[in-house]
Structure 1
Amino acid sequence: MSPRKPSSQELTKEMIKNEARTQFVEKDFHQVSMRSIAKQLGCSHGALYYHFNNKAELFYAIIEEYFLTLNKLIEEIVNDSGDNHTKLKNVFLRFIEFGLNHQSQYEIMFMIRNTEVDALSQEAANLSYQHFARSVQSLSMNKLLISDIYSAFIALHGFVSHYRGYFNSFEEAKDAAYLHVDFLVKSLTNLERSKSV
């Protein structure tokens, strides 16, 4: 006897997102379809449209959660006790740690380029970057230029992109990550000093 297929009412957004997450991680965005998701869930693809208008909306719901997770990790450090210099280092380290410990998710968040989802994913990425930039600025002694903060972000992104696939986790890249972050924080600190003179 074959298992009963869930109806659109029994099918939840979370069930759909869980399956879609798995498929987006395992396959290219183009290879995932509402039909392939429905097939794995044992329901008609029409049932998915009861919860999501299209694949792009479903994709956005997933990456939005990833960005919220990253934002929360950064926020915890900013609100933690300790001096700002150490917290700034920890923000940068946490970004790298997130990227290397969640490589497939990081790729989906920052590296997938597709006209169908670019506008939506760019919105989530921009909001997350603004959160990152405010956090970095709040931990800096003096006002940094927007370009200074963006350069630090790109340097962190470059580190994750470079080691993604080469290392399986942050732990394997820990020594290099600490050196990279020390360099970035020193660079920003020197910028702050030169601006205050």
Structure 2
Amino acid sequence: IKMEESLQDLIVSIPPPYVTAKCWGVLDGDDGSLLFGRNEHVPREMASITKVMTSYLVYRIMKRFKINPKKEMVTVSKYASGINGTSARLREGDILCVYDLLHGVMLPSGNDAATALAEHFAEIIKEDREKQAVNSRNPRLAKQNSKGEWEFNKMIYGNSGIDTKKTPKSRNLVKLFVEEMNKTATLLEMHNTSYSNPHGMC
């Protein structure tokens, strides 16, 4: 108890560090309490820190569907290869395993790699939701047309604004992935955090 009290006294007596950032905070690593800070609750653009959530969500999906990152292959789309900003130098048609793409996300901070992963894993989410809709036998969610093809109600894709008829496939998939990013942030109690893309570039 005396040690804890002396530590608290020490923290109180230490002046906050000089930081030039407009918003910053120093947290206690044990309980998450704020020790020092300035404008710590003011929303700021996250930039490439976004890619931490992208990688984390990829990990969660792999765990859920028992996907091996060294065996799951991803084909880079034209959309992903054309994303501006920091790059892993991916080209349309490149085929890489998830393990390598994660390195492309976290080491060179590749916006293209983050987008490629978002598209690929959103496709897995999309297919799973469509499978659940078919198995539900609810015609409001899924029904077959005259050609025997399944048609799905947009509600199964959540609030991502996905429109399979008007919006290009790649953009739809990224929207779906970003919605999952925001759901995951809520689960992690990141209440003041929201994402608009998988790479963080405005």
User: Higher RCO, 1 or 2 (CA under 8 Å, sep at least 6)?
Assistant: 1
Flag whether TM exceeds 0.5 (same fold).
Answer: no
TM-score by length of structure 1 reads 0.26
Which structure carries more strand by proportion? 2
TM-score by length of structure 2 reads 0.26
Q: Which has the larger radius of gyration?
A: 2
Which structure carries more helix by proportion? 1
